[in-house]
Structure 1
Amino acid sequence: MWRTSAIGLACLALLPSVLGTDILSTSGVSDCANGTSSSITVNNVSISFDKSSDNITFDASGTSTQDQYVTADLVITAYGVQAYQKSFDPCSRDTYVSQLCPVPAGNFSASGTQQIPSSYATLIPSIAYSLPDLDGTAQLTLKNKGGQTVACVQAGVTNGKTVSLPAVSYVAAVIAAGAAAVSLLGAAAAGAHPGSSTSSPGFFEVMWWFQGLAMNGMHSVNYPTIYRSFAKNFAFSTGIINWAGLQNSIDTFRQHTGGNLTDDNYEYLRNTTLVFSDGTTVKTSTSIAKRALSLFVRDVTTSVNSTSSSSTSTTGTTSTSHLVQGIEAYVEQLTVPQANTFMTVLLIFAILLAIIVVGILLFKVILEAWSLFGKFPKSLTTFRKEYWRVLAQTITSLILLLYGVWTLYCIFQFTHGDSWAAKLLAGLTLGSFTLILAFYVWKIWSMVHKLKKLEGNADALYEKKEIWKKYKLFYENYKRGYWWLFVPAIVYMFAKGCVLAAGDGHGMFQTVGQLIIEALMLIVLLWSRPYNRKSGNWINIIIQIVRVISVVCILIFVEELGIAQTTKTITGVVLIAVQSGLTVILALLIAVNSIITCCKENPHRKRRKAAEKHLSQDIEGDAFLMEPNPYTSSPFGPSKKKSDPAQGYEPVRANAYSRFGPRREDSEEGLVKGAAGMGYSGYRSVSHGRSETDGSPPPPFSREPKLPDLAFEQYRHK
């Protein structure tokens, strides 16, 4: 089957997908001479086969140092297997190509269309036209009559179909926006009550999931073409966005701060073919209209030293090739030069930060104006008074959201960047973000230490409103006994970014390191099940299981293991299916949570109400404690020894003293004065301006009821 497919794969072209459903084509061109000095330099080669017409369309351009006769060797590989190999002489009658017989000295270009027998065209299986991101290469080697290689070019294979689609990125962005809306809806429904939590999956969980998908595509391994294209769809979650104006501005910044723009700038990258470690190629920018036109050119055209041999002429486009892997390969597929990576993320972060700050301040101004001309809802009063706290917490949330990928890009800038200013900014921002998160860790741990010392536990983190408003960002979805889990989560994000960036170029180290980190996090989740809701526990555990499975699959792509390309492709398809399936499930759960959030009471709030009800019942049941306990014996009963103070009146008197303060002197003189004082209606007067010297009673010791000093003990022993 590989041999029948090979004939079709040999007829490949440099044409994008939208031009036909049954077209096989090459994508990009690279030099495969491996440093061998070549007398012929090929700048551009494109060959396409159109099944509907059985036509081969080709376009080639290059330069030659001399006139020379050559032979050509064509090798086609599909999914790592050599599917077709043929040697031919351009001057032979059966394989005559006038432009190459002989190869002229100077600049040359040739394009044309030839028809192949239908018997060969029918051998191409239909799957070759429908499978996305066809994984194959076509290599053409030119040799002189002496058998020496004078030129070698290689191009990737595509049928125009790919899983790298803008629509996928838009849908993922919509899912993230939906998660953010549901999280805000849940917060509004809870009314910002202490102990309230949001439903899973929330905005952070969804964004971290998309970031994980993007980071899975940054390993220095031989990805199947289909999975490499799939991982590109989630680059937006890490701050990588293709924006020409932004990239040109970064290039200018680098040029003035020590950067080398010779072969590392946006314009250069736009006309470069990326060559991956497995030999597949991708052209970062193509002219669809120009290549579409070449399909309809039916006359063979030859141009030597800019002189055309027919009325129809084409000019070859100079193309360069660039070997890439790892993080560099990932970002440059999106036309972001690797040296621009950190500055791209920094500027996107700055834009988001500016939008957030302006939005919050603008809303504050609107509320102030509203308060002058009308009465706004009471629920907005807190925001009006504490907008600076809201602003600070929003910025902290953004830092926490991006901390893992920020660590990744900063370390990558340290090791691959060329601008001293960009490296300085990377160090300052990473240090600042780490210090901010470390400050919150210290504050929360200090608060917990203080609470445990005073109250014996840390429940006040969830119960006291002021503490809750300040620090809930880090632990609001965790159970009370697992509030500390946000610290391992921060370490987890930092470790992932460090291992991936520091191990760039070493796929085995990256993958094994990531597998250890993901497995440890899974163990922590299975052991603690820390989320307040059962749904949160199961969703996050399932997400972590898929992360571990994903890294195991990436381990299959490691070059050192020597796994067959067909196995890698099947693994890539399975991995796409699993990750896409989980993404769809998360989207459905977000829709379900939007309904549940409006109907189901938050468990933290429910427990708080139950505690308040229980407290009110206790207060009502203990209301009699506001009055003194009755005497345990009658004052006129049997006499008791004075040496037994634990009997009779003494316990009651001690209890009364502990509740109502010190007593007046317990003596006959005190009894007379007390009886006389009872005649004054002002005994409970709150006036503090009068004293006992003018006959007025002293101010009360307490507002609570107090027993009169009857001095029963003296009467009983007389």
Structure 2
Amino acid sequence: MRRSLIMSPFTLLLAILSAFLPFASALRYIESNSLNPCMTNSSFSATLFHVIFTPDNGTLSVSINGVSQISGYVKVELQVLGYGYSIYHDTIDPCSDSTLKGLCPMNTGQLNFPTNAQIPKDTVNKVPNAIYYIPDLDGRVRVWINSTEGVPLACVEAELGNGKTVYQKGVAWTVAVIAGLGLVISAITSGLGHSNTAAHVASNALSLFGFFQAQAFIGMTAVTTPPIVRMWTQNFQWSMGIIRVSFLQRMATWYQRATGGTPSRLLSTLATTSVQVQKRSLDVANFLAKRTNSQTTNAENLKTLSVKGIRRVGFVARIEPTNIFFTGYIFFIIFVLLVVLGVVAFKYICEALTKSGKMKQDKFQDFRNGWTLVLKGILFRIVLIGFPQMVVLCFWEMTIHDSAAEVVLAVSTILAMIAILGWAALKVWRIARRSIVMHKNPAYILYSDPKALNKWGFLYVQFKATMYYFIVPVLFYLLIKGMFIAFGQGSGTAQAVALLIIEAAMLIAVSVMRPYMDKKTNAFNIAIAALNFFNVVLLLFFSGIFGLPTLAVGIMGVLFFVVNAVFALVILLMVMWASVWAITSKNPDTRYQPMRDDRGSFIKSQTNLGTTELDALGATARGDKAGGAGFTERKRMDLDDEEDSFSSTSQVGQRGTGGWVPPRSPVEPPSAPMLRNDVNGAASPIFRSQSPAQAGGVAAPYRPGSGQNGAAAFRAQNNASPWQRGVGY
């Protein structure tokens, strides 16, 4: 009864996740495929071990090939453990048990022990039915072989499984597709002019992706976590590029050999290698160093290997330890190439549809005119998304040295990414500071200048305009967290303590400062930060620092899975709903409140912020020509060397007798009455009577001539913006 109460959370969880956890088999069974020593100088080892128990017909099948150094009569002490709790404990005399006749007496040398036994019905009924359905069962069978006097001669331990696991490729692909679609849909929505919706969808999708990477980080720690925690976090290792593809594994092995490395052969030696997942007493590096010096005797041919942390993640994904870095690196490069090809293909598809008349001329017109700048912004965003992945893999590669060339790749890649993101953050800071000096508002230039918005907006659109600098602590948080994962593989306790401090600091920062664009987005990210903190608290308990009973640790593992599965399902549904709304609604911006930093008025009024007729008349009076040397010189600003922060003369300002005159903010009406009204008080046809913020909408720009051709000619001549309504893509 007690056991059934302990297992009840699993029943609830299976009901919640039944829609996307397709457990493959309805057959009830318990099996084990590995036999590991549980004492030093054990006198028995196995090269083959397979036990399967099917309760429906009460059959126990045992196949053991091993090497014994024990001679004489023995007694077998059997203990069955579930989540550290002793379920069954008994001592058996092989001479009086027909199932174990082959061990009466035991002899030294090779031991072949195939047998089938029929288990009594009353014994089968003692096993709780939930045991056969709980995913990633934390069960073990420990067998002591003692002399007739009770002296321990050998101890072996087998892990039990029932074929049910929370690690499902369908789950991994589902969450990956939803996160990717969120980013794609936000880009499309931005191109359609719904900047507010695009910003919200992109922010939530990016936060969702960050949550997946945080889950993967937990699985990459060296802490010995319960099986259900290990397998749940394995669902998110795709976000770190840990994906097995056969030809990529062959290429990684070839590249390592070609550059002076020695590939490991763990997966190809499983017949003589008993793999223990995350047992503290053994180490992979020691095994790999010793296996070349192994003797040829049967007893010494069997090796016991422990995998933990990043190596454990690779082993579960069936990736050789020496191929993990290269696999993650290649998938990051593939991701970049696919995005570039996707953007280019989308551009030419739009052009083809426009020429064939199947799409209106004004659809994605700004994107088609300035797609190269948009592509730059997208590539910057990809660098930000891949930053946590490459921090972990690159710094870890520096500690293991798979080959000299791979170490060079790791060093150059991580330095380049840090430099790119650091430079981008510095640009945002300089642009925002200039906007504050010129307009008393950082949002003005950050959102009114389309070049700055499309190129650097990926760093600040998710934050309030006054919190443009919050990307710096976010980058620092990701860097420090990834470094502890990479460099702390030798000490799970150190990793757990460090992650607890890091996540606590992040939770306090987002809760107190509330840097995101609105209340809903703040709540979304605070919830993620709170769950990340909750996870590392449990990770600290898993590390064994408090010496908790194994049963308590097992229950905490179940709690970890239930809470994270429910939370992941909720935020996935939220992002899916926001994405569907953005695509299907005619005006999705109505779902979101206007931003308090008034960014919407700056973005939507960019057409009016372009060169006005007064600018054109002034240029004519000075003898300048659009696109001439003087015009280009006035466009250039001392803030940038490459003309990528401002794109129109009205934004940059004009040169007066006393130097550069700051441009007029769109929220300030012109100071001269004569520029607003004629002598009769009527509104001038050239100048708008009030700013976009005052009018509550977008003022119509002056269009010389009449009809669409005149408007298009005016815009083509005077509007230099490549994508006026971008939100950071």
Shorter-chain TM-score: which interval?
0.7 to 0.9
Q: How many Å apart are 1:491 and its aligned residue?
A: 0.9
Counterpart of 2:254? 252
Counterparts of 1:421 and 1:23 in 2: how far apart (Å)?
47
Counterpart of 2:239? 237
What do the CA deviations read for 1:463-514 (whole angstroms, capped 9, x no partner)?
A: 2223222211111122111111111111111111012222223222211211
Counterpart of 2:204? 202
Counterparts of 2:566 and 2:500 in 1: how far apart (Å)?
21
| Alignment counterpart, residue 525 of structure 1, candidates 510, 514, 525 | 510
Q: How many Å apart are 1:210 and its aligned residue?
A: 0.8
Counterparts of 2:271 and 2:318 in 1: how far apart (Å)?
7
Counterpart of 2:377? 393
Answering whether residue 340 of structure 2 is matched by residue 357 of structure 1, we say yes
Counterpart of 1:30? 36
Q: Is the 8 A contact 2:262 2:402 kept in 1?
A: yes
What do the CA deviations read for 1:6-35 (whole angstroms, capped 9, x no partner)?
A: xxxxxxxxxxx866533222242223343x
Counterparts of 2:147 and 2:534 in 1: how far apart (Å)?
51
Stretch moving more, 61-70 or 21-30: 61-70
Counterpart of 2:191? 188
Q: How many Å apart are 1:151 and its aligned residue?
A: 4.7
| Alignment counterpart, residue 49 of structure 2, candidates 23, 40, 45 | 45
SS state at 1:560 partner: coil
Answering whether residue 124 of structure 2 is matched by residue 118 of structure 1, we say no
Counterpart of 2:167? 164
Q: Is the 8 A contact 2:38 2:155 kept in 1?
A: yes
Residue type at the aligned position of 1:236: W
Compute the TM-score of the two structures, normalised by the length of structure 1.
0.72
| Alignment counterpart, residue 544 of structure 1, candidates 513, 529, 547 | 529
SS state at 1:562 partner: coil
Q: Is the 8 A contact 2:395 2:487 kept in 1?
A: yes
Counterparts of 1:206 and 1:160 in 2: how far apart (Å)?
30
Residue type at the aligned position of 1:214: A
| Alignment counterpart, residue 469 of structure 1, candidates 447, 454, 471 | 454
Answering whether residue 121 of structure 2 is matched by residue 127 of structure 1, we say no
Q: Is the 8 A contact 2:374 2:454 kept in 1?
A: no
Q: How many Å apart are 1:360 and its aligned residue?
A: 3.2
Residue type at the aligned position of 1:622: P
Q: How many Å apart are 1:167 and its aligned residue?
A: 2.2
1:476-625 correspondence to structure 2 within 5 Å? 476-594=461-579, 596-597=581-582, 598=585, 599-601=588-590, 603=594, 604=598, 606-608=600-602, 618=669, 622-623=673-674
Counterpart of 2:216? 214
Cα distance change on mapping 1:203 and 1:87 into 2, 3 Å: same
Answering whether residue 323 of structure 2 is matched by residue 323 of structure 1, we say no
Compute the TM-score of the two structures, normalised by the length of structure 2.
0.71
Cα distance change on mapping 1:616 and 1:486 into 2, 3 Å: closer
What do the CA deviations read for 1:370-397 (whole angstroms, capped 9, x no partner)?
A: 7887797344444444333233222221
SS state at 1:190 partner: coil
Counterpart of 1:695? none
1:46-85 correspondence to structure 2 within 5 Å? 46-64=50-68, 70-85=74-89
Q: How many Å apart are 1:43 and its aligned residue?
A: 0.9
Counterpart of 1:274? 275
Q: Is the 8 A contact 1:2 1:78 kept in 2?
A: no
Answering whether residue 396 of structure 2 is matched by residue 412 of structure 1, we say yes
Q: How many Å apart are 1:122 and its aligned residue?
A: 1.9
What do the CA deviations read for 1:204-243 (whole angstroms, capped 9, x no partner)?
A: 1111111111112222223121121111111111111122
| Alignment counterpart, residue 155 of structure 1, candidates 133, 147, 158 | 158
Structure 2, unpaired ranges of 5+: 6-22, 283-300, 610-664, 681-729
Residue type at the aligned position of 1:415: T
Counterpart of 1:86? 90
Counterpart of 2:423? 439
What do the CA deviations read for 1:171-222 (whole angstroms, capped 9, x no partner)?
A: 21232134224423432343569x9733475321111111111112222223
Q: How many Å apart are 1:116 and its aligned residue?
A: 2.2
Counterparts of 2:539 and 2:507 in 1: how far apart (Å)?
18
Counterparts of 1:158 and 1:149 in 2: how far apart (Å)?
27
Counterpart of 1:138? 141
Residue type at the aligned position of 2:233: A
Q: How many Å apart are 1:156 and its aligned residue?
A: 0.3
Counterparts of 2:302 and 2:454 in 1: how far apart (Å)?
57
Q: How many Å apart are 1:68 and its aligned residue?
A: 5.5
SS state at 1:559 partner: coil
Q: How many Å apart are 1:536 and its aligned residue?
A: 0.8
Counterpart of 2:10? none
What do the CA deviations read for 1:292-345 (whole angstroms, capped 9, x no partner)?
A: xxxxxxxxxxxxxxxxxxxxxxxxxx9753112222222222122333221110
Counterpart of 1:429? 413
Structure 1, unpaired ranges of 5+: 6-16, 282-317, 630-718
Q: Is the 8 A contact 2:51 2:60 kept in 1?
A: yes
Stretch moving more, 575-584 or 483-492: 575-584
What do the CA deviations read for 1:375-433 (whole angstroms, capped 9, x no partner)?
A: 97344444444333233222221110011121111111112333222111111100111
Counterparts of 1:624 and 1:399 in 2: how far apart (Å)?
47
Counterparts of 1:620 and 1:450 in 2: how far apart (Å)?
22
SS state at 1:260 partner: coil
The number of residues matched between the two structures is: 578
Counterparts of 2:511 and 2:25 in 1: how far apart (Å)?
51
Residue type at the aligned position of 1:226: I
Q: Is the 8 A contact 1:518 1:547 kept in 2?
A: yes
Cα distance change on mapping 1:625 and 1:180 into 2, 3 Å: closer
Cα distance change on mapping 1:78 and 1:372 into 2, 3 Å: closer
Q: Is the 8 A contact 1:169 1:233 kept in 2?
A: yes
Q: Is the 8 A contact 1:220 1:326 kept in 2?
A: yes
**RMSD of Structure 2 on Structure 1 (CA):** 3.7
SS state at 1:472 partner: helix
Cα distance change on mapping 1:269 and 1:400 into 2, 3 Å: farther
Stretch moving more, 534-543 or 95-104: 95-104
Counterparts of 1:328 and 1:558 in 2: how far apart (Å)?
18
Counterparts of 1:489 and 1:439 in 2: how far apart (Å)?
15
What do the CA deviations read for 1:434-459 (whole angstroms, capped 9, x no partner)?
A: 11111112222232343344444432
Counterparts of 2:243 and 2:273 in 1: how far apart (Å)?
19
Q: Is the 8 A contact 1:156 1:280 kept in 2?
A: no
SS state at 1:197 partner: helix
Q: Is the 8 A contact 2:136 2:164 kept in 1?
A: yes
Identity of aligned residues (%): 26
1:634-645 correspondence to structure 2 within 5 Å? none
Q: Is the 8 A contact 1:269 1:335 kept in 2?
A: no
Rg: which structure is higher?
1
